Amino acid sequence: MSTEDTFVRFKEVQKSYDGETLVVKNLNLDIERGEFVTMLGPSGSGKTTCLMMLAGFEPATHGEIYLGDRPINAVPPHKRGIGMVFQNYALFPHMTVNENLAFPLEVRKLSKSEIATRTKRALDMVQLGAFGDRRPAQLSGGQQQRVAVARALVFDPDLVLMDEPLGALDKQLREQMQYEIKHIHESLGVTVVYVTHDQSEALTMSNRIAVFDDGVIQQLAPPSDLYERPENAFVAQFIGENNRLMGSVEAIDGKECQVKIDNGEVIRALKVNVDGVGQRATLSLRPERVEVNPEPGKFPNVFDAKVEELIYLGDHIRTRASVCGHDDFIVKIPNASHHASLNEGDTVKFGWSMEDCRALDVSGIH
């Protein structure tokens, strides 16, 4: 799947710290020029290690990393020309903002005037033009964040790495910064590799998301695909909310399959990632795709449900019910006038389509 435009390429990369376990298992990843790729995954999934290998701070145990068409395994970090925003920004506390920004330019031996122009341009880009003489400690968290971004970009790198850069900010600021980073990326056309464990951050900003787990990329896809069409149970579980029903495959019919879940009911589902008849499978169903008391015949899957708990959340009502032997079945009912109002203890019917119910593997579930 390598194309002309491939800019960063991980080829069969493996990484082990102790010689016994692999933190990154046989990673293959191509990132296109100008792309915003997010490595998303729980902590310990290997995403940060990949970023560190790309930045040059960790050597790959096996395999090769290419930047453009140049293998960079043997290139020390300071010669890679990659910008990076660190988790806690790593702004040099003994230098002013201007000196921080000038640092990468000075080590590249640019002229004084050139340094001044570039520094100013970068600061203006993050709307901190007036703060050049302050020290990092005199800035707010959000301002420090912007300085860190400006510093990573001031020497015009083709590739910028960001290691959970928004982790230390409060929610509102984080959302604001997500948009700013996205806009900077769009206006500069720089390639960004972004690491986070926050899925909404990943969904907001990325062109493509690589979902990491256990040292392996579970799925690499644009945000909408990832949510709509998870390829395995881990991704389905990790991205957004889903109801999980376990069972074994009864029959397979083209892209459809029938799964007998553990209380004996049979559900018709989309065959995505099942091994064959008789094998175990996980059925994944998004809570917002379930309809309450559907018109008869609208869905192939209709089951009795007993309402256990209702939680009022403003725009929707989160309903927990017992369905098919699971008492943690969640349904999101939009708070609109045409929707039925339920009471705890009611018995109703839940229905969903075959396409919304994806039959997946069982291995990715921890």
Partner 1 sequence: MAANNATSVEPLLTADGTPLKTSLQRSLRRSKLRATALVLPPLLFLIGLFVLPIGNLLTRSTDDTLINHQLPLTFAMLGQWDRQELPDESLFEAIFLDLTSLNKYLIKDNFATAVDPDDPAWKIQIPKKGPYRDAMIEIAPHWKDAKTWLLIYEIAITAAEATGTEREIKHQQKRAQFKICSMLTPLTNATCSKLYKVLNEWDGVSEPDEALFEALYKDLASANKYLLGKSSTRMNYEKPGFKSLIKKSGRKLKKVNEPPYKEAMIKADKRWGDIGFWHALLAMQKPQTSGYYLNAVDRKWDENREVVMQPEERQVYVMLWWRTFLVSLIVTVGCLLLAYPVAHLLATLPLKYSNLLMICVLMPFWTSLLVRIVAWMIMLQQEGVVNDTLVMLGLPDEHRLPMMYNFTGTIIVMIQILLPFMILPIYSVMKTIPPSYMKAAQNLGAPPSLAFLRVYMPQTLPGIGAGVILVFIVAIGYYITPELVGGKDGRLIGNMVAYHMQKSLNWGLAAAMGSILLAGILILYWIYDKIVGIDNMKLG
Give the amino acid at 107. Answer: V
Apex CA 225: angle with CA 224 and CA 230, to 5°?
Answer: 125
CB of 178 to partner 1, least distance (A): 22
Please give the Cα distance from 311 to 306 (Å, whole number).
15
Least separation in angstroms between CB 103 and partner 1: 6
DSSP 60-89: -SEEEEEETTEE-TTS-GGGT-EEEE-TT-
Shortest reach from residue 95's CB to partner 1, in Å: 8
Task: Kindly state the smallest distance separating residue 133's Cβ from partner 1, in Å.
Answer: 17
Q: Rounded distance, CA 48 to CA 3, Å? A: 25
Q: Are 302 and 268 in contact (CB under 8 A)?
A: no
Nearer to partner 1, 82 or 210 (CB): 82
Nearer to partner 1, 42 or 77 (CB): 77
Closer residue to partner 1 in complex, CB, 147/236: 147
Considering the complex, state which of residue 66 and residue 86 has its C-beta at the smaller distance from partner 1.
Answer: 86
CB of 20 to partner 1, least distance (A): 17
Least Cβ distance, residue 39 to partner 1 (angstroms): 17
CB of 100 to partner 1, least distance (A): 9
- Classify residue 301 as left (phi > 0), alpha (psi -120 to 50) or beta: beta
Q: How far is the CB of 108 from partner 1 (least distance, A)?
A: 6
Q: Which residues contact residue 312 at a Cβ distance below 8 angstroms, ignoring those fewer than 6 apart?
A: none
66/103 with CB nearer partner 1: 103
* Tokens 């990659």 belong to residue: 82
Nearer to partner 1, 164 or 201 (CB): 164
Pick the closest to residue 269 from 334, 361, 349 (CA basis): 361
> Interface with partner 1 by CB under 8 A: which residues?
55-57, 76-84, 86-88, 90, 92-94, 103-104, 107-108, 151, 155
| Phi then psi dihedrals of residue 3, to 5 deg | -115, 175
Contacts of 288 (CB under 8 A, 6+ apart): 316, 332
Nearer of residues 193 and 331 to partner 1, judged by Cβ: 193
Query: Which is nearer to partner 1, 7 or 86 (by Cβ)?
Result: 86
> Whole-number minimum distance, CB 104 to partner 1, in Å?
4
Tokens 């879940």 belong to which residue? Answer: 261
Instruction: Give the angle 323-328-334 at the CA atoms, nearest 5°.
Output: 85
What are the CA-CA distances from residue 179 to residues 128, 146, 226, 251, 364 (Å)?
17, 12, 20, 46, 32
Residue number with CB closer to partner 1 (121 or 349): 121
Q: Within the chain, what is the greatest distance between any pair of CA atoms?
A: 76
